[in-house]
Amino acid sequence: MERNIVYIALFAALIAALGLLPKITLTSGIPITAQSLGIMLCGTILGAKRGALAVLLFLGLVAIGLPLLAGGRGGLASFASPWAGFLFGFPVAAFVTGLVVEKWRGGNMAVVAAVGAIVGGIVVLYLIALVYYMVMTGTPLMGAISTVALPFIPGDLIKAVLAGVVTQAIWKARPDAVLSRS
């Protein structure tokens, strides 16, 4: 049980660390950080329930005022922006990602984890973020897609593939630590 708490806490810290490491700038000029990679890894490595708890813990620390979001942002105001749908969607994204990896046994781990990350960390996450943005700003669907989703989806697809590669590497190096498969 201590192991569960510590794993959840360390992955919450990992989400923060990945968001605060230097960011990559895509050829399109849009900077992406590895923060959402952290969300995906919570799901692929910790599994649905623990992954979602790690993300909730991370958001709890952001809410009480730690500047852990990418770019050193944080505080309650992070949840007041029309883009906060991403934050509210993060735990669901990690849960769905973890669920895919837990249920889809067999197959190449990199493929399973990448597909999980795409389903949870992109499809589900953007659905929540889009609906939230549309409700908050009254923007119609096409407008919301072009401002909230399209510029960021290429970067997130790269991150989903990376989540697959990283998960497979961990699966080989520390099979016991991949709780989604234990």
Using CB under 8 A as the criterion, which residues of the chain lie in contact with other proteins when the complex forms?
Answer: 1-14, 16-18, 20-22, 24, 34, 37, 41, 45, 49, 53, 57-58, 60-61, 63-68, 71, 73-77, 79-83, 136-139, 143, 147, 162, 165-166, 169-170, 173-174, 177
Quickly count: other Cβ atoms within 10 Å of residue 90's Cβ.
Answer: 26
Please name the residue that has the structure tokens 């939230």: 132
DSSP code of residue 21: S
For other proteins, the closer CB: 1 or 106? 1
The residues that bridge with 31 in the sheet, in sequence order, are 25
Task: Write down the least CB distance from residue 123 to other proteins, Å.
Answer: 22
Task: Write down the least CB distance from residue 91 to other proteins, Å.
Answer: 13
For other proteins, the closer CB: 61 or 131? 61
Q: Which of 47, 49, 44, 60 is nearest to 12 (CA)?
A: 60
For other proteins, the closer CB: 60 or 107? 60
Decide: 45 and 179 in contact? Cβ < 8 Å.
Answer: yes
Query: Distance between CA atoms of 145 and 126, rounded to whole angstroms?
Result: 9
Task: Write down the least CB distance from residue 53 to other proteins, Å.
Answer: 7
